[in-house]
Amino acid sequence: MFKHLLFISCLILLCGCKQEKKDPFSNQTSTGSTSIRYANGFEIETQSSGITIIKVLKPWANAETTHTYALVPKEIQASVTLNKNEYDAIISTPVENIVVTSTTHIPALEEMGVLNNLIGFPDTKYISSIAARKLIDAGQIKELGVNESINTEAVLALQPDLIFGFAINDGNSTYESIQRAHIPVVYNGDWVEETPLGKAEWIKFFAPFFNKTEEADTIFNKIEASYLEAKKLASESKNKPTVLSGAMFKDIWYLPGGKSWAANFLEDANADYLWNSTDENGSLSLSWESVLDVGQHAEYWIGPAQLATYQEMESSSLHYTQFDAFKNRKIFTTANTKGETGGTLYYELGPQRPDLVLKDLIHILHPGLLPNYEPFFFKPLL
């Protein structure tokens, strides 16, 4: 995970920019905005004409532009005239055939009952969803190569209504080629969100494309209620255990910054994450000596990257054996919870189900608060 985060952190420095488009909200009558309570990366507003405008404010980290999409119901499409220069794409809804490019997109489609609309995905081997794997085996979801260089010819052969794109900047030449073939690319920035409920709320972003707004609201409200109930339960514990996280890659220890998604989980689980005072919303890059100095006596070690066993950790580096959490067998990982083809379930489903992640952490960090709970993602290191 941390190697992937480092890769993204380096590449976002190459972000380009493009000309801002005129704000389409300024001269239309609004009938209301979808309530977005936690996510910072998108806005949704429905006009009196029936057109829905979606603005993606943060398609990737440090994005300097807003992407604006107009969703036009098919029944009024013939009577609507829009200025194409004001939008990144104009899309007829509901969409029927789509391509998504991140496993984090799949749980939202499955929850809303539109997974059958998915016809293509890059690197299908990483998909863990049982329902999606059945569609892959049946040939309904086609393999499209890898996300960074998605197979353009395969996409053009499928002719999807649109692609939900994942990108680290606006320099993806493959997406540009696909757009020139008149297939819209809609950027999804769920991965940029820093809060657990903020990521989960992106189900509301998908909903208008399928006329599933009410369903998405209901799904998210249940997740929110479950999460807040668990957070309240954790806050009642008088014990606040100390927590270490991360692991080394080439002598550099990568661990969550104090404002990151992972650190927010630990805060809501009423844990004392030992780097929670740092301002980074991504990962920290530290020497192992500095991590040992701060975290040697941490009670728990949550998320040692992809390390799955104590033997693997010791073989990887003897430095790990100096930590109390290693000695006391108090290390917990998501690396051993995998899908049928080896994909880590946490990366796919965790963003959509933060309530399950939080309950896992509470079960681990506050034994007794959830005595009958069966951990879903985080399991003891083997």
H and E: helices and strands count for the chain? 14, 20
Report the SS3 class of residue 73.
Answer: strand
Give tens-digit pLDDT for 342-379: 999 999 999 999 999 999 999 999 999 998 999 999 99
Give domain 236-380's CATH superfamily.
Answer: Nitrogenase molybdenum iron protein domain (3.40.50.1980)
Residue 29 has pLDDT above 70, yes or no: no
Which residue matches tokens 């689980």?
269
Q: Which residues pair with 254 in a beta bridge?
A: 247, 285
On the question of pLDDT at 269 being above 50, the answer is: yes
Strands 162-165, 185-187: pairing kind: parallel
Looking at residue 238, its pLDDT comes to 94
pTM, entire model: 0.90
20 pLDDT more than 50: no
Q: Has residue 184 got a pLDDT over 60?
A: yes
pLDDT of residue 166: 87
Q: What percent of the chain stands above pLDDT 70?
A: 91
Average pLDDT score over residue span 11-28: 37
Burial bucket for residue 304 (CB in 10 Å: 0-12, 13-18, 19+): buried
pLDDT tens digits, one per residue of 140-178: 999 999 877 799 999 999 999 999 998 888 778 889 999
Cα–Cα distance, 26 to 28 (Å, whole number): 6
Alpha carbon distance 140, 117 (integer Å): 9
Which residue(s) pair with 272 in the sheet? Answer: 242
Identify the pLDDT of residue 32. 63
CA distances from 43 to 322, 331, 365 (A): 48, 39, 36
Q: Tell me the domain boundaries of the chain.
A: 26-224, 236-380
Q: Which CATH superfamily is domain 26-224 in?
A: Nitrogenase molybdenum iron protein domain (3.40.50.1980)
- Coil, strand or helix: which one is 52? strand
Averaged pLDDT score across all residues of the chain: 91
26-224 and 236-380: same fold?
yes
